[in-house]
Amino acid sequence: MAWFKRYPSAIRWSVNQSFVRKLFLLVAIITGTEFCGGITKAQEAPVLSSIQPPFAQEPNQNSIPEEPIPLLSSPVTPAASSQIQPAQYLVDPATDYQSASFDPFDPLIDSDIGQNYSMMAYQSLASHYDDLATGPKQYADYAPEGFYPLDYQEAPGASLYTRLSPAPAISPDDFDRLVIRGPVPGSFMVPGTPTSIRLSGFVRMGANYDFQPVGTPDLFVTRTIPVPQTPGQNVNYSARPTRISLDTWTPTTHNDWVVHTFVQFDFLSGNPPAVGSSSNPRLRFAFVDYGYFRIGQDTTVFMDASVFPRTADFQGPNGIVNSRQGLGRITLPVSENVFVAAALEQPFSDITTNGLGTNVQDVPDFTTHLRYQRDLWHLQSAAIVRSIGYRPTGEEVDRRAGWGVNLTGSLLPWAILKGENPLRDTDPQPITRSRVLLQFAVGSGIGRYIQDTSGIGLDGAVTANGGFETLGIRSMTASYEHWWAERWMTNLTYSNVQVDSSNAMPGSSFAGSDYVATSLWYVPVRNASIGIEYLWGRRENQNGESGTANRIQTVFQYNF
């Protein structure tokens, strides 16, 4: 235990923000049983009245200070209920965690328990957060330094980024029986292990009124607008976008890398609300991060999820690049703010065969992007190269090359003009949180990667002589989010997609669409969002015919 002597004397950090810890302690108080092993008395320690962990903002001088909440080191039995013992913190949380000079991988630590404890304690070091590969934020999750990003297709009640701060360091006696805060807000460490877990998601309920028919009752998919349009109105209620997510983080001794796993489900694969109330879970994400690498189902590297606007319509813009699929990805830092990523991804030749043959996909799609990330703006340039195959009945495979470029970016214009930083300022003006989001994509044979053209055979088409050709496509999305006040936001989004004409396509085939959304959001409390939105869409066919639709969409969402 020579490594233990390196710590200063034990003191108590009287902060407890973990709901799970409170729940476990409540059960222990009621049942009087021991939690995760026997009861070990901890030494009394001074109480810290003020705590400022790394990356924390300076307190607002006008704010009312919160009283610290005592942290228990052991469960309470009837006999010991009158003498509640504190946890032993080995490092003053108000100081730099590196001051402990703690070596988490001391060769004297040979037991499994010792190694698990050392890896848990490693997460309390500020240096653990300096390198993305060794901290809880992965290279593939772009965010300003010191922050963790929010998932896309979210509502404004949830912050785009959450601050990171080191987990508290506790004594070995408390390690195997206490539930403590993990390195990412909302996470907790499993007692006796270095693994942190976070369960998150949201409940989302939408209601909409259609002035004209749309083929999707609870999502505004412009390609499903009938052409020609027919009379008809409809009302729909749906909670299918409700989402559940599970993260885990486990530090390792290999390069100090952290193993991060992420699984997420929603319920959009079930019956539409007009058919019944039951919905089936749909797998959105399932991947593992390890250092520079990510393997599993994730958004394509050709996509920039951070420019997805916050619309009340869960489907979102028709022209945005949006695809989740199996891939193997590597993300490398070129400098502090520049990253390059590349991946081999699931192929699929989404072509219209007209029954004359079958599509062939036997070569992975190659995607890559270069990203420049700052607090108030970012730019990303992505590219894709594909092999699209078609086998005429009884003949050899015919192949065509597909390619695409996707340029994206975002900025906070009012923050730049005013010289403020709403991410790091203690009391930012609401208008400085306003954002501009832009995307432009162009290519040939990339129809399945764009929202409105995915899955309808627009990568390519079979020609009259039995061959096939890829189809050119262009799409753009522009969105502006304006914060009028601390709790009120307006969003205005326009999106468009156009597919090149081809003699191989029948006149009723999709040629293009437009999408307009304007919404008003109210955030009554943190994590709660109430929105109302007007939607207008237009679909055009290859023969020039078109149809339009109008919808009023309302939504309530609560993040947990």
Average pLDDT score over residue span 298-302: 98
* pTM score of the predicted model: 0.78
Query: For the segment 488-541, what is each residue's pLDDT rounded down to a tens digit?
Result: 999 999 999 999 988 888 889 999 999 999 999 999 999 999 999 999 999 999
Burial class (CB in 10 A: 0-12, 13-18, 19+), 399: middle
Q: Is a pLDDT exceeding 60 seen at residue 15? A: no
Sole residue written with tokens 């607008």: 225
Place of tokens 């003053």: 92
**Mean pLDDT, residues 184-198 taken together:** 89
Separation CA 491–CA 415 (nearest Å): 17
pLDDT band at 43 (very low <50, low <70, confident <90, very high): very low
Report in angstroms the alpha-carbon separations of 257 from 7, 185, 243, 516.
Answer: 24, 20, 29, 44
How far apart CA 294 and CA 412 sit, in angstroms, is 30
Could you tell me which CATH number the domain at 209-247+299-559 has? 2.40.160
**Residues 6 or more apart from 273 whose CB is under 8 A from it?**
217, 218, 236, 237, 238, 240
Token duo for residue 261: 């796993």
Question: In residues, how long is the chain?
Answer: 560
Q: Which residues pair with 514 in a beta bridge?
A: 496, 538
Element (H, E) at 408: strand 398-411
The mean-pLDDT minimum among 184-188, 274-278, 304-308 falls in 274-278
Please, which pLDDT band fits residue 3 given cuts at 50, 70 and 90?
A: very low
Nearest-angstrom CA–CA distance, 472 and 512: 12
**330/325 Cα distance (integer angstroms):** 15
Q: Is 114 helix (H, G, I), strand (E, B) or coil?
A: helix
pLDDT at 391 over 70: yes
Q: What is the mean pLDDT of residues 236-244?
A: 94
> What's the DSSP call for residue 81?
T
| Distance from C-alpha of 47 to C-alpha of 11, rounded to nearest angstrom | 7
Sheet holding 468-470, edge to edge: 351-352, 460-462, 468-470
* % of the chain residues with pLDDT over 70: 75
The single-letter code of the amino acid at 529 is S
Q: What is the pLDDT of residue 24?
A: 43
CA angle 342, 345, 347 (to 5 degrees): 140
* pLDDT the model gives residue 252: 86
Amino acid at 264: Q
Give residue-wise pLDDT tens across range 310-332. 999 999 999 999 999 999 999 99
Encoded amino acid at 209, one letter: Y
Q: 269: which 2 tokens?
A: 């694969």
Token pair of 454 as six digits: 């995915």
Average confidence score pLDDT of the chain: 80
